[in-house]
Amino acid sequence: MKIIPCALLSLLVSASVYAQQTADPGNFYARYSAQTNAIQSKQPNWPPPLVTTYTGLFQVVRTDYLRQITPTRTDTWNIDGSKCVSFIPFNRTEFDINLPPYIFHNTPAAKDGWGDMSFLGKFRVASGNEQHGHYVISVFALATVPTGQYKNGSTDASIAPNLAVGKGFGPLAIQTTAGTTLYVSKPATTTTGNPVAWNLATQYHLHKYFWPEVESNATWYKGGTNHGKMQEFVTPGILFGKLKLHPDDPKSRPGLTFGAGMQIATSQFHSYNHELVMTARWIY
């Protein structure tokens, strides 16, 4: 097997660790799980959208599989989608480690290879659960390291500061993020510029496990070869979960969530279209 998705390996490790440790309620996992439950109890209980970054704090092992169709009608597969593990180290804070995705091209003009590694740090500024305002406000920054092979990543490191806001109205949840990407040096500053991104996700809780959603993912290009252009996708999709490992225990955290959607270009300019998005998440 050429690659092993991060989440597959991590899911097995997490499941085995959980199974071995839950017998003793005084162990580290039990204490850490209780701390995470307490931190998340102060925010709405929404699932992370397919594309838009989650506005609250989340603890998950995740893998995504993306298939893009370029304007020249070639397929590109992104294995792992720049996802891996998110954890809540202490109050109001989240940290993500995203391993490099593996990029498959079905054209001899491009070589397959690893993409860029990234890290995300998030701070929850304010929040209220369903009984106390049903909202969340956070700030986060995504730092990317140029580890890509054969032009499957950026030429330079970058940091992307963002503001994230979410508001619930009964079973309806609206989450939005806005930010820009700042490259640290050339040639990325001249070829890519400093794109500004705005994402909006609307989700609806249907029955117990279903979360249908629609997202808008837009980017305005400032500087670089695409200066002045705008790219937007509308992404209908659905999430299913969470399927608890121990459904009879209300305090049990581990469980699975699955989802799928399709990014459809709505702007005249777009670098790809009809991106199939599939996600699997192990909540621990």
Domain range 6-279, its CATH number among 3.40.1190.20, 3.40.718.10, 2.40.160.40, 2.40.40.20: 2.40.160.40
Question: How far is the CA of 86 from the CAs of 118, 124, 226, 266, 282, in angstroms?
Answer: 12, 14, 33, 31, 10
Six token digits for residue 130? 């369903």
Would you list the domain boundaries of the chain? 6-279
At 109 the pLDDT is: 84
Sequence-separated (6 or more) residues with CB below 8 Å from residue 280 = 7, 62, 63, 256, 257, 258
At 32 the pLDDT is: 86
CA distance 204 to 132: 19
At 1 the pLDDT is: 43
Q: Is 17 helix (H, G, I), strand (E, B) or coil?
A: helix
At 81 the pLDDT is: 93
| Number of H-type helices and E-type strands within the chain | 3, 16
CA distance 4 to 102: 10
At 99 the pLDDT is: 92
At 170 the pLDDT is: 96
ω into 187 cis (within 30 of 0):
yes
pTM above 0.75, yes or no: yes
Helix (H), strand (E), coil (C) string for 204-252: ECECCCEEEEEEEEEEECCCCCCCCCEEEEEEEEEEEEEEECCCCCCCC
The DSSP bridge pattern shows strands 172-180 and 196-204 to be antiparallel
At 110 the pLDDT is: 87
CA distance 32 to 88: 9
At residue 9, φ and ψ (nearest 5 deg) are: -65, -45
Q: What is the pLDDT along the chain (284 residues), one digit of tens a residue?
A: 455 555 555 555 555 555 555 555 567 778 888 899 999 999 999 999 999 999 999 999 999 999 999 888 889 999 999 999 999 999 999 999 999 999 999 888 889 999 999 999 999 999 999 999 999 999 999 999 999 998 898 889 999 999 999 999 999 999 999 999 999 888 887 888 899 999 999 999 999 999 999 999 999 999 999 999 999 999 999 999 999 888 888 777 889 999 999 999 999 999 999 999 999 999 98
At 24 the pLDDT is: 58
Sequence-separated (6 or more) residues with CB below 8 Å from residue 213 = 49, 50, 201, 202, 203, 204, 235, 236, 237, 238, 239, 261
- DSSP calls for 107-119: STTS--EE--EEE
